[in-house]
Structures are given as structure tokens and as C-alpha cells.
Amino acid sequence: MSLVITLATARRILTQLRHDRRTVALMVLVPTLVMILLYYVIDDERTFGRFAPVLLCVFPFLVMFLVTSIATLRERTSGTLERLMAMPLGRLDLLLGYGLAFGLAACAQVALALAVSLTWLGLDVPGPLWPLVLVALLDALLGTALGLLCSAFARTEFQAVQLMPVVMIPQVLLGGILVPRARMTPVLEWVSDVLPMSYAIEAMARACADPDPGGEFWRDVALVAGSAVLALLLGAATLRRRTP
């Protein structure tokens, strides 16, 4: 691993994004636009206040998962990954480079969605804002890490896109948004217990409701961060210098 190579990789990915303005616009604007749409569909500030944190949780994850899985799949199929693997680039250099670059993109995404929610849409957060931002960023990193991991199981961009609902929908359905997790049948609750999104949604709900998030918030944050690290390490294991 080398800091120089990691930073060069992050810079390269940001440059690629810069050349693709439409992707950047979609990435940054879509969560905010959906937030606004949700606000007018619900048309009730209290109910909106309950769903908004969930969206702040789901979106960074969703977008980063998609963008990363397709970007790394392209890297695998275009031969650039093989070229890099023949060079003195560590596997973590590549993964952390992606994490850093897309993490920065996620910052912009979350900042806009949060700013619009807090001002125009009147979202009321009793406590400080940093716990929200922290959870949203961890979500984005988790999405990036899982995207990297899942891209190893997709041969084509079609497959990569199809993996998104596979990874995403169970996590949202079992995340306690529609039905509280404690009310699910035991089997589903167990599954829900091992899905990282459950803790991300829980942490976001606490950050939005509690002016002084305590020990349980930090436990959730640690679980989400731990899952991201685990996914990143598993992703690193799927990058092979030698391929058959």
C-alpha cells in the first residue's frame, strides 16, 4: 500500500467524473429531487420527518453502490485492471482510491440533500447535524465497498445493475422502515439483524430524533463502519493479480 498511489487513484477517478458531468449531476441532484417529491407527496411535515432520515440513509448507499459496481466492472473488462495489477499498485490502493473519490462525491450529495431538507422542506433536527452527516457518509462508504465486492460477481454491466435490487431491496424491506424489526417473524428478524442497513437506518433515526445520541447510536455507527471495512477487505480478496 502506498499513500501516493492511493491519492493518485482517487484523483484519477475524480478526473473521470469531471469528464462525465451528466453522471455528476444525476448523482448530486437525484436524492434531493426525490426528497422534494416525497415532501409534496406526503404533504405532512411530521410524517415527512419520519421518512426523510430513511431517504438520507438509503440514497447515498444506493447511488454509491451503483456507480462503484459499474466503474469497477468497467475497470475489470477494459483491461485497465490487468494493467494496474502488473504495476506496483496495491489492491487496497485501488479500493481506498475508489472509497475516497466516491466518498467525496457522497459528501456533495448529502450536503445538498440535507441543506434543502433543513431549509426549504422544514426538516426539524433537534440536536447537532454532524451525527446525520456521519451516518450518511458511512452509508456511502458501505455502498462503495459493497459495490466493489459485488462487481466481482457480475460479468456485464447488465448484471451489475441487476445486482442493485438484489442487494438493496431486502435491506430496505427488512430495515425496519415498513414494519418495525421487532415485529417481524423470528427468521426475518435474524436476517434483519445481520444486514448492515438495519443499523444504518436505526442510527439515522436516532441522530434525527435524539438531541444527544448516546451509546446505542455509537454501537450502530460502529456496526455500519465495521461492515464497510469487512466488505472492503472481501472486495480486496476478489482482486487477483493472476487470473485464469
Partner 1 sequence: MMNFADTAVAVRGLRVSRGGAEVLHGLTFEVPRGQVTGLLGPSGCGKTTLMRALVGVQVVSGGEVTVLGEPAGSAGLRRRIGYSTQSPAVYRDLTVLENLRYFAAVLGAPKDDPERVLTEVGLADAAHQLGATLSGGQLNRAGLAVAMLGRPELLVLDEPTVGLDPVLRQELWALFHRLAGRGATLLVSSHVMDEAARCERLIVLRQGEILADDTPDGLREATRTSDLEEAFLRLVAERAAA
Q: Which is nearer to partner 1, 23 or 36 (CB)?
A: 23
Minimum separation from the CB atom of position 184 to partner 1 (A): 44
Determine which residue in the list 3, 86, 178, 194 makes contact with partner 1, applying CB under 8 A: 86
Residue 5 as a binder of partner 1 (CB under 8 A): the answer is: yes
Nearby residues of 88 by Cβ (< 8 Å), 6 or more positions away: 2, 5
Identity of residue 155: R
Q: For the window 14-53, what string marks contact with partner 1 as x by the rule CB under 8 A?
A: -xx--xx---------------------------------
Residue 90 is inside which H or E element, if any?
none
Residue 244 as a binder of partner 1 (CB under 8 A): the answer is: yes
Residue 70 as a binder of partner 1 (CB under 8 A): the answer is: no
Q: Which of 104, 121, 160, 134 is nearest to 42 (CA)?
A: 121
Interface region with partner 1, contact rule CB under 8 A, candidates 30-38, 82-90, 140-148, 229-237: 82-90
Interface region with partner 1, contact rule CB under 8 A, candidates 60-68, 75-83, 120-128, 206-214: 75-83
Residue 219 as a binder of partner 1 (CB under 8 A): the answer is: no
Buried b / exposed e across 72-108, counting CB within 10 Å, b at 16+? bbebbeeeebeebeeeebbbbbbbbbbbbbbbbbbee
Identity of residue 14: L
Give me the phi and psi of 43, to 5 degrees please: 55, 35
Binding site for partner 1 (CB under 8 A): 4-5, 8-9, 11-12, 15-16, 19-20, 78-80, 82-89, 241-244
